[in-house]
Amino acid sequence: MVQLISVNLGSIQNYVWRGQTASAIAKQPTQSPVEVASLGIVGDQQADKINHGGVDKALLVIPESNYQLHGVAEQPFGFLGDNLTLAGLDESDVQIGDQLQIGSVLLEVSQPRSPCWKLGKINGDQRFVKHYSLSGRVGFYCRVLQHGEILPGLVVSVHKTGSGADIQRLFLAKFHHKSPADWQILSEAVTLKALSQSWREEISRLLANQSS
């Protein structure tokens, strides 16, 4: 059984990173019902709207098991920037285009997370980002197909409507892009209708450079 075990929201804060950086990476769990609309949880904020948020990246989902895997099990859910923390699945179980039904809300998997340097900052060690990335267990983004209300404890129905490599293998193929298998995964991914526009553009550039 897949279950929604935490719903997490963040507000923009100013950090002394690289001089000064505004970020809402640190999310806080809530036990109250929240409304989910096309841009994600109503009340959740993003400071960098070029790289975070938007219709294609409305919600960041991270498996509960990632907290143990990445050595942050003592931290509250939301620490890794996740809006939704799920138990009962991980990145190897999910493909682009898979749909998650949570109460009245219907989500569609759109891309793996692209970890950024801010993850290193909140962990006090930039090596964290490399370890996080090499695992391929990075979480994934979803777009919202059907609005509604959610709260922790709801069962998640996973509709296997996706295709291509699983999220873990897709991320690692883009991260390494060295072997023929990597390039095959990327060639297939760029054709997927549910893939986010930003990842489609990035993969298309990689493929163009590889063939030139």
Look at 9-23, 32-46, 74-88, 170-184 and tell me which has the smallest mean pLDDT.
Answer: 9-23
- How many structural domains is the chain composed of? 1
Token code pair at residue 135: 């695992």
Residue with token string 């069962």: 155
pLDDT at 212: 72
pLDDT at 19: 81
pLDDT at 2: 98
Is 80 part of any domain?
A: yes
C-alpha–C-alpha distance, residues 146 and 154, integer Å: 16
**Helices (runs of H) and strands (runs of E) counted in the chain:** 6, 15
| 204 pLDDT above the threshold of 90 | yes
Is 196 part of any domain?
A: no
Is 43 part of any domain?
A: yes
Is 175 part of any domain?
A: no
| 48 pLDDT above the threshold of 90 | no
* Per-residue model confidence as pLDDT tens digits over 144-201: 999 999 999 999 999 999 999 999 999 999 999 999 999 999 999 999 999 999 999 9
Is 205 part of any domain?
A: no
Domain holding 128, by residue range, is 2-163
Is 202 part of any domain?
A: no
Is 102 part of any domain?
A: yes
Instruction: Give the CATH number, domain containing residue 124.
Output: 2.40.33.20
Question: In terms of pLDDT, which residue wins out, 56 or 18?
Answer: 56
Is 77 part of any domain?
A: yes
pLDDT at 47: 81
* Per-residue model confidence as pLDDT tens digits over 50-98: 777 899 999 999 999 999 999 999 999 999 999 999 999 999 999 999 9
pLDDT at 150: 98
C-alpha–C-alpha distance, residues 14 and 26, integer Å: 11
Q: How far is CA 205 from CA 90, 99, 173, 190, in A?
A: 28, 27, 14, 10
What is the pLDDT confidence band of residue 211, given thresholds at 50, 70 and 90? confident
The burial class, CB within 10 Å (0-12 / 13-18 / 19+), for 103 is: middle
Residue with token string 């390494």: 176
Helix (H) or strand (E) holding 147: none
pLDDT at 50: 75
The burial class, CB within 10 Å (0-12 / 13-18 / 19+), for 209 is: exposed
C-alpha–C-alpha distance, residues 48 and 69, integer Å: 27
The burial class, CB within 10 Å (0-12 / 13-18 / 19+), for 108 is: buried
